[in-house]
Amino acid sequence: MLARRKHIYFAMMGVCIALFVLAWSVVRLWSVPAAVAMCVVAMVIPPFAAMVANRRGPDDRWWDDPSGDEKSDEWWDELDGKKRRP
């Protein structure tokens, strides 16, 4: 899932950069308002790309979820100060 989210993130950011470059190198020669509109669309893409990249997938372990490994969970709980050593 992480690799898929990374691919989607980089694709969205690639589209964003392509929109900026095309808007000010090609489209502005024919229509400045269209170039500005392309830049506005490109401006909206990065926040959505960040949300896609940082979204928690159904199989992803959250930072405080138990992993199922007793020894590992005890170790992390001790580091977090949740449990004391006997």
Q: What is the pLDDT of residues 77-86, one digit of tens each?
A: 777 777 655 5
Q: Does the predicted model carry a pTM greater than 0.75?
A: no
Centroid of chain to Cα 61? 16
pLDDT at 63: 62
pLDDT in tens, 65-75: 667 788 877 87
